[in-house]
Protein backbone atom coordinates (compact mmCIF):
# COMPACT_ATOMS: atom_id res chain seq x y z
CA UNK A 1 0.00 0.00 0.00
CA UNK A 2 2.31 2.78 -1.23
CA UNK A 3 2.00 6.43 -0.26
CA UNK A 4 2.57 9.43 -2.51
CA UNK A 5 1.02 7.96 -5.65
CA UNK A 6 -1.44 10.78 -6.23
CA UNK A 7 -4.44 9.13 -4.62
CA UNK A 8 -6.09 10.37 -1.46
CA UNK A 9 -8.34 7.47 -0.44
CA UNK A 10 -8.51 3.89 -1.60
CA UNK A 11 -11.91 2.51 -0.57
CA UNK A 12 -11.82 -1.27 -0.15
CA UNK A 13 -15.15 -3.11 -0.01
CA UNK A 14 -14.99 -6.83 0.86
CA UNK A 15 -18.11 -8.43 -0.58
CA UNK A 16 -19.97 -11.71 -0.94
CA UNK A 17 -23.49 -11.74 -2.39
CA UNK A 18 -26.10 -9.05 -1.80
CA UNK A 19 -26.01 -7.06 -5.04
CA UNK A 20 -28.39 -4.39 -3.76
CA UNK A 21 -26.24 -3.83 -0.67
CA UNK A 22 -23.09 -3.45 -2.75
CA UNK A 23 -24.65 -1.10 -5.29
CA UNK A 24 -26.11 0.99 -2.47
CA UNK A 25 -22.70 1.28 -0.81
CA UNK A 26 -20.99 2.34 -4.05
CA UNK A 27 -23.75 4.83 -4.90
CA UNK A 28 -23.40 6.46 -1.47
CA UNK A 29 -19.63 6.60 -1.89
CA UNK A 30 -19.88 8.43 -5.17
CA UNK A 31 -21.66 11.29 -3.47
CA UNK A 32 -18.63 11.69 -1.22
CA UNK A 33 -15.56 10.83 -3.24
CA UNK A 34 -13.47 12.73 -5.78
CA UNK A 35 -12.90 10.53 -8.82
CA UNK A 36 -9.65 12.38 -9.57
CA UNK A 37 -7.98 11.41 -6.28
CA UNK A 38 -9.99 8.53 -4.80
CA UNK A 39 -10.47 4.94 -5.96
CA UNK A 40 -12.83 2.09 -5.12
CA UNK A 41 -11.71 -1.55 -4.99
CA UNK A 42 -14.31 -4.29 -4.52
CA UNK A 43 -12.90 -7.63 -3.39
CA UNK A 44 -15.49 -10.27 -4.22
CA UNK A 45 -15.44 -13.49 -2.21
CA UNK A 46 -16.93 -15.76 -4.89
CA UNK A 47 -20.42 -14.28 -5.01
CA UNK A 48 -23.05 -16.59 -6.45
CA UNK A 49 -25.53 -13.86 -7.36
CA UNK A 50 -25.35 -11.16 -10.06
CA UNK A 51 -23.43 -8.68 -7.88
CA UNK A 52 -20.41 -8.23 -10.13
CA UNK A 53 -22.35 -8.15 -13.39
CA UNK A 54 -24.54 -5.34 -12.08
CA UNK A 55 -21.58 -3.54 -10.50
CA UNK A 56 -19.46 -3.50 -13.64
CA UNK A 57 -22.44 -2.45 -15.76
CA UNK A 58 -23.34 0.49 -13.53
CA UNK A 59 -19.87 1.45 -12.22
CA UNK A 60 -17.17 0.48 -14.75
CA UNK A 61 -14.65 2.73 -12.95
CA UNK A 62 -14.66 0.48 -9.87
CA UNK A 63 -11.75 -1.98 -9.69
CA UNK A 64 -12.72 -5.57 -8.93
CA UNK A 65 -10.67 -8.42 -7.45
CA UNK A 66 -12.46 -11.73 -8.07
CA UNK A 67 -11.81 -14.56 -5.67
CA UNK A 68 -12.85 -18.03 -6.75
CA UNK A 69 -13.61 -18.99 -3.15
CA UNK A 70 -14.59 -17.22 0.06
CA UNK A 71 -11.38 -15.66 1.34
CA UNK A 72 -12.87 -14.21 4.51
CA UNK A 73 -13.05 -10.61 5.70
CA UNK A 74 -9.48 -9.81 6.73
CA UNK A 75 -7.82 -11.63 3.85
CA UNK A 76 -10.09 -9.89 1.33
CA UNK A 77 -9.33 -6.51 2.91
CA UNK A 78 -5.61 -7.22 2.66
CA UNK A 79 -5.99 -8.05 -1.03
CA UNK A 80 -7.50 -4.62 -1.54
CA UNK A 81 -4.89 -2.91 0.62
CA UNK A 82 -2.08 -4.49 -1.42
CA UNK A 83 -3.56 -2.99 -4.60
CA UNK A 84 -4.44 0.36 -3.00
CA UNK A 85 -2.61 3.47 -4.14
CA UNK A 86 -4.00 5.97 -1.67
CA UNK A 87 -2.33 7.86 1.14
CA UNK A 88 -5.22 6.51 3.23
CA UNK A 89 -7.55 3.55 2.86
CA UNK A 90 -11.14 3.03 3.90
CA UNK A 91 -12.40 -0.46 4.74
CA UNK A 92 -16.15 -0.43 4.15
CA UNK A 93 -18.79 -3.13 4.63
CA UNK A 94 -21.27 -3.50 1.80
CA UNK A 95 -24.09 -2.78 4.29
CA UNK A 96 -22.56 0.56 5.35
CA UNK A 97 -23.40 3.92 3.78
CA UNK A 98 -20.79 6.66 3.96
CA UNK A 99 -22.19 10.19 4.42
CA UNK A 100 -21.20 13.12 2.21
CA UNK A 101 -18.01 14.74 3.50
CA UNK A 102 -16.80 11.70 5.44
CA UNK A 103 -13.65 11.12 3.38
CA UNK A 104 -12.65 14.77 3.71
CA UNK A 105 -13.27 14.65 7.47
CA UNK A 106 -11.10 11.54 7.85
CA UNK A 107 -8.32 12.99 5.68
CA UNK A 108 -8.33 16.29 7.61
CA UNK A 109 -8.09 14.46 10.93
CA UNK A 110 -5.19 12.34 9.73
CA UNK A 111 -3.32 15.46 8.58
CA UNK A 112 -3.91 17.22 11.90
CA UNK A 113 -2.95 14.20 14.06
CA UNK A 114 0.28 12.60 12.91
CA UNK A 115 0.03 9.67 15.34
CA UNK A 116 -3.53 8.74 14.34
CA UNK A 117 -3.43 5.36 12.60
CA UNK A 118 -7.04 4.19 12.50
CA UNK A 119 -10.31 6.14 12.52
CA UNK A 120 -14.01 5.37 12.44
CA UNK A 121 -17.27 7.28 12.48
CA UNK A 122 -20.32 6.71 14.65
CA UNK A 123 -22.42 3.85 13.28
CA UNK A 124 -26.15 4.50 13.06
CA UNK A 125 -28.78 1.84 12.47
CA UNK A 126 -31.51 1.88 9.85
CA UNK A 127 -33.86 2.99 12.63
CA UNK A 128 -31.71 6.07 13.25
CA UNK A 129 -30.42 4.86 16.61
CA UNK A 130 -26.67 4.85 17.39
CA UNK A 131 -24.95 1.48 17.28
CA UNK A 132 -21.93 0.33 19.24
CA UNK A 133 -18.98 1.72 17.32
CA UNK A 134 -16.06 1.17 19.71
CA UNK A 135 -15.13 -0.94 22.68
CA UNK A 136 -12.37 -2.29 24.89
CA UNK A 137 -9.91 -5.09 24.39
CA UNK A 138 -11.32 -8.41 25.61
CA UNK A 139 -9.98 -9.22 29.05
CA UNK A 140 -10.49 -11.56 31.98
CA UNK A 141 -13.69 -9.84 33.17
CA UNK A 142 -15.33 -9.56 29.76
CA UNK A 143 -14.52 -13.15 28.77
CA UNK A 144 -15.48 -14.85 32.03
CA UNK A 145 -18.14 -12.55 33.44
CA UNK A 146 -16.20 -12.47 36.71
CA UNK A 147 -15.70 -8.97 38.01
CA UNK A 148 -16.86 -5.66 36.61
CA UNK A 149 -16.87 -5.27 32.85
CA UNK A 150 -16.01 -1.98 31.23
CA UNK A 151 -18.85 -0.65 29.12
CA UNK A 152 -18.42 1.49 26.02
CA UNK A 153 -20.82 4.37 26.62
CA UNK A 154 -22.17 6.25 23.63
CA UNK A 155 -20.51 9.66 23.20
CA UNK A 156 -22.44 12.62 24.57
CA UNK A 157 -20.89 15.05 22.10
CA UNK A 158 -19.36 14.99 18.63
CA UNK A 159 -15.78 15.69 19.71
CA UNK A 160 -13.27 13.02 18.54
CA UNK A 161 -11.79 10.80 21.24
CA UNK A 162 -9.32 7.93 21.49
CA UNK A 163 -10.57 4.39 22.01
CA UNK A 164 -9.13 0.89 22.33
CA UNK A 165 -11.04 -0.92 19.58
CA UNK A 166 -13.34 -0.03 16.70
CA UNK A 167 -16.13 -1.95 15.00
CA UNK A 168 -14.94 -2.96 11.54
CA UNK A 169 -17.89 -1.78 9.42
CA UNK A 170 -16.12 1.43 8.36
CA UNK A 171 -12.44 1.95 9.15
CA UNK A 172 -10.10 4.61 7.79
CA UNK A 173 -6.41 3.73 8.05
CA UNK A 174 -3.20 5.57 7.26
CA UNK A 175 -1.02 3.81 4.67
CA UNK A 176 2.11 4.32 6.75
CA UNK A 177 0.39 2.62 9.71
CA UNK A 178 -0.28 -0.43 7.54
CA UNK A 179 3.33 -0.41 6.35
CA UNK A 180 4.54 -0.21 9.94
CA UNK A 181 2.16 -2.61 11.68
CA UNK A 182 0.83 -4.81 8.88
CA UNK A 183 -2.71 -5.34 7.66
CA UNK A 184 -5.27 -7.74 9.08
CA UNK A 185 -3.98 -10.99 10.56
CA UNK A 186 -5.04 -13.55 7.95
CA UNK A 187 -5.32 -16.34 10.51
CA UNK A 188 -8.72 -14.82 11.32
CA UNK A 189 -11.37 -15.74 8.78
CA UNK A 190 -14.25 -13.72 10.20
CA UNK A 191 -14.70 -11.81 13.50
CA UNK A 192 -12.07 -10.43 15.92
CA UNK A 193 -9.73 -9.43 13.09
CA UNK A 194 -10.36 -5.72 13.67
CA UNK A 195 -9.92 -6.17 17.43
CA UNK A 196 -6.52 -7.81 16.96
CA UNK A 197 -5.59 -5.13 14.40
CA UNK A 198 -6.45 -2.33 16.81
CA UNK A 199 -4.35 -3.99 19.50
CA UNK A 200 -1.38 -4.41 17.16
CA UNK A 201 -1.60 -0.83 15.86
CA UNK A 202 -1.75 0.44 19.44
CA UNK A 203 1.32 -1.61 20.39
CA UNK A 204 3.15 0.02 17.48
CA UNK A 205 2.30 3.48 18.84
CA UNK A 206 -0.62 4.40 16.56
CA UNK A 207 -3.70 6.14 17.93
CA UNK A 208 -7.19 4.69 17.45
CA UNK A 209 -9.90 7.36 17.24
CA UNK A 210 -13.66 7.66 16.93
CA UNK A 211 -15.11 10.68 15.09
CA UNK A 212 -18.73 10.81 16.32
CA UNK A 213 -19.62 13.69 13.98
CA UNK A 214 -19.26 11.31 11.01
CA UNK A 215 -22.52 9.34 11.04
CA UNK A 216 -22.27 6.08 9.06
CA UNK A 217 -25.52 4.26 8.29
CA UNK A 218 -25.05 0.56 8.98
CA UNK A 219 -27.31 -2.42 8.35
CA UNK A 220 -25.51 -4.48 11.04
CA UNK A 221 -25.18 -8.09 10.08
CA UNK A 222 -27.12 -7.97 6.80
CA UNK A 223 -24.50 -10.03 4.99
CA UNK A 224 -24.36 -12.87 7.55
CA UNK A 225 -28.01 -12.96 8.72
CA UNK A 226 -28.97 -15.86 6.41
CA UNK A 227 -25.97 -17.83 7.74
CA UNK A 228 -26.27 -17.10 11.43
CA UNK A 229 -25.42 -20.60 12.69
CA UNK A 230 -22.30 -20.71 10.52
CA UNK A 231 -21.33 -17.22 11.65
CA UNK A 232 -21.66 -18.20 15.31
CA UNK A 233 -19.21 -21.02 14.72
CA UNK A 234 -16.79 -18.56 13.11
CA UNK A 235 -17.18 -16.33 16.17
CA UNK A 236 -16.08 -19.15 18.47
CA UNK A 237 -13.14 -20.05 16.21
CA UNK A 238 -11.94 -16.44 16.11
CA UNK A 239 -12.43 -15.90 19.83
CA UNK A 240 -10.22 -18.88 20.69
CA UNK A 241 -7.64 -17.69 18.15
CA UNK A 242 -7.66 -14.19 19.67
CA UNK A 243 -6.86 -15.68 23.08
CA UNK A 244 -3.69 -17.21 21.60
CA UNK A 245 -2.72 -14.01 19.80
CA UNK A 246 -3.39 -11.44 22.51
CA UNK A 247 -2.79 -13.12 25.88
CA UNK A 248 0.02 -14.91 27.66
CA UNK A 249 -0.04 -18.65 27.09
CA UNK A 250 -1.36 -19.45 30.56
CA UNK A 251 -4.18 -16.88 30.29
CA UNK A 252 -5.01 -18.17 26.80
CA UNK A 253 -5.25 -21.73 28.14
CA UNK A 254 -7.41 -20.64 31.07
CA UNK A 255 -9.83 -18.67 28.89
CA UNK A 256 -10.03 -21.48 26.34
CA UNK A 257 -10.91 -24.05 29.00
CA UNK A 258 -13.42 -21.61 30.49
CA UNK A 259 -15.06 -21.07 27.10
CA UNK A 260 -15.31 -24.82 26.41
CA UNK A 261 -16.83 -25.51 29.83
CA UNK A 262 -19.30 -22.71 29.28
CA UNK A 263 -20.22 -24.19 25.90
CA UNK A 264 -20.83 -27.59 27.50
CA UNK A 265 -23.15 -26.06 30.10
CA UNK A 266 -24.99 -24.02 27.47
CA UNK A 267 -25.44 -27.09 25.30
CA UNK A 268 -26.84 -29.09 28.19
CA UNK A 269 -29.16 -26.27 29.25
CA UNK A 270 -30.47 -25.65 25.72
CA UNK A 271 -30.98 -29.38 25.11
CA UNK A 272 -33.04 -29.66 28.29
CA UNK A 273 -35.03 -26.65 27.09
CA UNK A 274 -35.80 -28.40 23.80
CA UNK A 275 -37.03 -31.48 25.69
CA UNK A 276 -39.19 -29.44 28.05
CA UNK A 277 -40.81 -27.51 25.19
CA UNK A 278 -41.14 -30.66 23.05
CA UNK A 279 -39.15 -28.85 20.37
CA UNK A 280 -41.92 -26.31 19.80
CA UNK A 281 -39.97 -23.20 20.89
CA UNK A 282 -38.07 -22.04 17.79
CA UNK A 283 -35.67 -19.83 19.71
CA UNK A 284 -34.69 -22.65 22.06
CA UNK A 285 -34.19 -25.00 19.10
CA UNK A 286 -31.91 -22.49 17.36
CA UNK A 287 -29.78 -22.07 20.47
CA UNK A 288 -29.47 -25.82 20.97
CA UNK A 289 -28.54 -26.32 17.31
CA UNK A 290 -25.88 -23.60 17.48
CA UNK A 291 -24.31 -25.00 20.65
CA UNK A 292 -24.38 -28.57 19.34
CA UNK A 293 -22.70 -27.48 16.10
CA UNK A 294 -19.94 -25.68 18.02
CA UNK A 295 -19.43 -28.62 20.33
CA UNK A 296 -19.24 -31.04 17.39
CA UNK A 297 -16.66 -28.74 15.76
CA UNK A 298 -14.48 -28.91 18.88
CA UNK A 299 -14.88 -32.68 19.15
CA UNK A 300 -13.84 -33.06 15.49
CA UNK A 301 -10.58 -31.16 16.23
CA UNK A 302 -11.77 -27.83 14.82
CA UNK A 303 -11.89 -28.53 11.04
CA UNK A 304 -11.06 -25.43 9.03
CA UNK A 305 -13.78 -26.17 6.48
CA UNK A 306 -16.62 -25.77 8.99
CA UNK A 307 -18.34 -22.40 9.33
CA UNK A 308 -19.16 -19.98 6.54
CA UNK A 309 -19.48 -21.60 3.11
CA UNK A 310 -17.14 -21.88 0.10
CA UNK A 311 -14.00 -21.07 2.06
CA UNK A 312 -10.58 -20.71 0.52
CA UNK A 313 -8.66 -23.29 2.50
CA UNK A 314 -5.03 -24.07 1.72
CA UNK A 315 -5.07 -22.41 -1.70
CA UNK A 316 -6.44 -18.87 -1.78
CA UNK A 317 -6.72 -18.13 -5.47
CA UNK A 318 -8.14 -15.27 -7.47
CA UNK A 319 -9.24 -14.87 -11.04
CA UNK A 320 -7.67 -11.42 -11.28
Domain ranges in the chain are: 7-218, 226-299
Tens-binned pLDDT, residue by residue, of the chain (320 aa): 544 456 799 999 999 999 999 999 999 998 888 888 899 999 999 999 999 999 999 999 999 999 999 999 999 999 999 999 999 999 999 999 999 999 999 999 999 999 999 999 999 998 889 999 999 999 999 999 887 667 766 766 789 999 999 999 999 999 999 999 999 999 999 999 999 999 999 999 999 999 999 999 998 766 566 678 999 999 999 999 999 999 999 999 999 999 999 999 999 999 999 999 988 888 899 999 999 999 999 999 999 999 988 898 754 444 44
User: Which positions ≥6 away from 81 have C-beta within 8 Å?
Assistant: 1, 10, 12, 89, 178, 183
Q: What are phi and psi of 276, to 5 degrees?
A: -65, -30
Looking at residue 221, its pLDDT comes to 63
Q: What homologous superfamily does CATH list for 7-218?
A: Spore Coat Polysaccharide Biosynthesis Protein SpsA; Chain A (3.90.550.10)
Contact 90, 106 (CB under 8 A): yes
DSSP 186: T
* Distance, C-alpha 90 to centroid of its chain: 12
Note the pTM of the prediction, 2 decimals: 0.90
Amino acid sequence: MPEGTGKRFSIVIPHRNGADLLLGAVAALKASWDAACDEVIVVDNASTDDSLARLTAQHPDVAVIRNICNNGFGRACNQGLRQARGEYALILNNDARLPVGALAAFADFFRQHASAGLLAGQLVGLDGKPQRSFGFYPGFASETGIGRKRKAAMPAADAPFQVETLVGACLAVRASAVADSGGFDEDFFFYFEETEWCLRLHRHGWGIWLLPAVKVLHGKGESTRPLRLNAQLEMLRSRLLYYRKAFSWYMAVFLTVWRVLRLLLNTLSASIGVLLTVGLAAGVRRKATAYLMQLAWLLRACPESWGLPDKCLRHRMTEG
